[in-house]
Chains A and B, each alone.
Chain A
Amino acid sequence: MTQGLTIAFLIAAVLFCLYRVARGPSLPDRVVGLDLLSSVTVGFIAVYAVVSGEIIYIDVAMVLALIAFLGTVAFAYFIEKGGMPWRKT
Chain B
Amino acid sequence: MAQNLSAFLMFFGALLMFIAALGVARMPDLFTRMHSSTKSATLGVGFIMLGAAFHFGEIGMTMRAVAIIVFIFLTAPVAAHMLGRAAYFAGVPLWEGTLSDALRGHYDRRTHRLINDEKIEEQLFEGENGR
A interface list, Cβ under 8 A from B: 2-3, 5-7, 9-10, 12-17, 19-20, 26-29, 31-33, 35-36, 39-40, 42-43, 46-47, 49-50, 55, 58-59, 61-62, 65-66, 69, 72-73, 75-77, 79-80, 83-84, 87, 89
Contact = CB atoms under 8 A, between A and B. Distances in A.
A66 B24 contact: no
Given A28-B30, A43-B48, A79 B90 contact: yes
Given A6-B11, A39-B17, A26 B30 contact: yes
7 contacts: A9-B15, A16-B21, A26-B90, A27-B90, A47-B48, A59-B64, A69-B79
B58 A35 contact: no
B79 to A, nearest CB: 4
B33 A80 contact: no
Contact of A55 (B13, B61, B83): B61
Given A80-B86, A87-B91, A58 B64 contact: yes
A75 B13 CA distance: 27
A72 B10 CA distance: 25
A47 B15 CA distance: 13
B68 A47 contact: no
Contacts of B14: 5-7, 9-10, 13, 43, 47
Contacts of A89: 91
Contacts of B52: 46-47, 49-50, 58
Contacts of A40: 17, 21, 41
